[in-house]
Amino acid sequence: MSLFKDVLKDSESLIIDEIALDFEYIPKILKHRENEQKYVAECIKPLLQERNGKNLFIFGKSGVGKTAAIKWILRDLENETDVIPVYINCWKTETNYKIINEICRQIGYKYVLNKKTDELIRDVSKILNKKSAVLVFDEVDKLIEQGVIYSLVEDIYKKTIILITNNKDFLSHIDQRVRSRLILESLEFKPYNKEETRSILKERTDYALVKDVFDDASFNLIADRAFELGDIRTGLHLIREAVMIAENNSCKNVKKEFIEEAIKKLDDFKVKDNDLDAREKLMIELVKLNPGKNIKELHTIFTTSGDEIPYRTFFEKIKKLEKKGALTTKETEGTAGKATIVGCNENKKIDEF
Ligand SMILES: Nc1ncnc2c1ncn2[C@@H]1O[C@H](COP(=O)(O)OP(=O)(O)OP(=O)(O)O)[C@@H](O)[C@H]1O
Ligand SMILES: [Mg+2]
């Protein structure tokens, strides 16, 4: 027996390939999403036969592999076919102008200077119509404008358009003109079961770390936590944290206590992250006091009470509070057009967010 066998030397690291634990990393083989990927491939296949593809609506909770599965397919398309893959994250790229510019960037079209959105849509359509395209709009519920999608649906002949979101009810938020032209198939990504969660995280760990950093029991602590939360991303985060704690303690393996520390850190972080600023707390109070009001009405009440927050910021805060589970929103369509009614999650106190 040696007291020093498990001590990490200064130059040693437990990590072989850090990228394999990155959230954006796309593994060579994406386990347990074979059926979903086959379904998506069926929608795209007509494009390889010079026909129009099917459009698809993908939904599912956070961290269940929606983005990873689709990016995997886009990479495959790029390597194996002539189909042009386009991926837009609507959280970062949320307006018509930004979207069309991003598409230009991805397809390598450089003549964008001083051109208006409409002109660029025409240029892009011409280029895409020489071949066929798969256009993915991820986190599509974050879009502020849907005009580009409408134009692309109209102007591109051979395409598959894929919309991805956490929000199962998003379809009812899409402009009627877009919806009736898209004709979307629906595909749900259900959370992974315990065994699947374990095997996905195990594979990522095997790529990323030196052998035997975790014993089975310790590893399962993390995997089971990720399973409980239904989120692979949390599992990857915990693995990274626990390994860092082990390295900081100069240990060659991750002990149970390091994992517990990582889990505690995650919980603390969540509390901090979830801390609401004073304005957000006021907004929740405002919604409580004004049941049945839509976002615009609430914004007017809020600004007339003295806090001149821009509408866009107000809107984003409502959406953030909805994501945290503090507020609920519901789309309605009345005589005055569409409106988003905001409600309160009565089951929770403000301090719980
Ligand atoms: N089957 C899988 N095999 C390997 N890694 C996976 C698998 N499924 C998910 N992951 C990994 O889990 C993390 C979260 O997956 P992803 O980003 O695709 O989730 P998502 O469903 O798009 O979540 P969100 O709705 O929050 O965008 C990523 O790092 C991804 O690589
Ligand atoms: Mg995603």
pLDDT > 70: percent of the chain: 91
Of the listed ranges 78-82, 104-108, 201-205, 275-279, the one predicted with least confidence: 275-279
The values of phi and psi at residue 89, to 5°, are -95, 110
Report the distance separating Cα 69 and Cα 162, nearest Å: 12
Partnered with residue 338 across adjacent β-strands are 333
311 lines ligand 1 (CB under 6 A): no
pLDDT of residue 336: 67
Q: What is the pLDDT of residues 46-61, one digit of tens each?
A: 999 999 999 999 999 9
Higher pLDDT, 135 or 289: 135
Report the distance separating Cα 160 and Cα 133, nearest Å: 7
73 lines ligand 1 (CB under 6 A): no
232 lines ligand 1 (CB under 6 A): yes
Atom of ligand 1 nearest to the CA of 69: 18
Q: What does the mean pLDDT of the chain come to? A: 88
pLDDT at 24 over 60: yes
Report the distance separating Cα 251 and Cα 322, nearest Å: 42
pTM confidence score:
0.77
202 lines ligand 1 (CB under 6 A): no
Report the distance separating Cα 144 and Cα 94, nearest Å: 6
Q: Which amino acid is at 304?
A: T
Nearest ligand atom owner, CA of 239: 1
The two beta strands, 55-59 and 84-89, are: unpaired
pLDDT of residue 179: 84
Domain boundaries, the chain: 18-22+192-274, 34-188, 278-352
pLDDT at 273 over 70: no
The values of phi and psi at residue 93, to 5°, are -125, 90
The token pair at 112 is 């964008």
The token pair at 222 is 């993390």
Atom of ligand 1 nearest to the CA of 189: 21
* CATH number of the domain located at residue range(s) 34-188 in this protein: 3.40.50.300
Atom of ligand 1 nearest to the CA of 24: 29
pLDDT at 232 over 90: yes
170 lines ligand 1 (CB under 6 A): no
Q: How confident is the model at residue 335 (pLDDT cuts 50, 70, 90)?
A: low
205 lines ligand 1 (CB under 6 A): no
Buried b (16+ CB within 10 A) or exposed e, 305-325: eeeeeeeeebbebbbebbebe
The token pair at 151 is 């134009």
pLDDT at 315 over 50: yes
Q: What is the pLDDT of residues 73-122, one digit of tens each?
A: 999 999 999 999 999 999 888 889 999 999 999 999 999 999 999 999 99
Q: Residue 66 C-alpha to ligand 2 middle, in angstroms? A: 6
197 lines ligand 1 (CB under 6 A): no
Whether domain 278-352 has CATH 3.40.50.300 = no
* CB neighbours of residue 168 within 10 Å: 13
Of the listed ranges 127-131, 156-160, 336-340, the one predicted with least confidence: 336-340
Nearest ligand atom owner, CA of 29: 1
Nearest ligand atom owner, CA of 201: 1
Task: Tell the residue number behind the tokens 């032209």, with chain if given.
Answer: 181
Average pLDDT over residues 237-256: 92
67 lines ligand 1 (CB under 6 A): yes
Higher pLDDT, 40 or 303: 40
Report the distance separating Cα 86 and Cα 81, nearest Å: 14
In terms of Cα–Cα distance, which of 238, 225, 217, 218 is closest to 197?
Answer: 225
Task: Tell the residue number behind the tokens 């390994």, with chain if given.
Answer: 243
pLDDT of residue 333: 77
Nearest ligand atom owner, CA of 59: 1
Q: Which amino acid is at 127?
A: I
CATH topology match: 34-188 vs 278-352: no
Q: Residue 296 C-alpha to ligand 1 middle, in angstroms? A: 35
In terms of Cα–Cα distance, which of 135, 124, 62, 123 is closest to 325?
Answer: 62
Q: How confident is the model at residue 350 (pLDDT cuts 50, 70, 90)?
A: very low
Atom of ligand 1 nearest to the CA of 138: 27
Phi-psi region of 43 (alpha: psi -120 to 50; beta: other; left: phi over 0): alpha
Give the distance, in angstroms, between the CA of residue 20 and the centroid of all CA atoms in the same chain: 18
Q: What is the pLDDT of residues 185-196, one digit of tens each?
A: 999 999 999 999
pLDDT of residue 5: 65
Q: What's the length of the chain?
A: 353
Helix (H) or strand (E) holding 244: helix 232-248
Neighbours of ion ligand 2 (CB under 5 A): 67
Whether domain 18-22+192-274 has CATH 1.10.8.60 = yes
Contacts of 43 (CB under 8 A, 6+ apart): 53, 54, 55, 56, 160, 162, 185
Q: What is the DSSP letter of 145?
A: -
CB 155 within 8 Å of CB 130: no
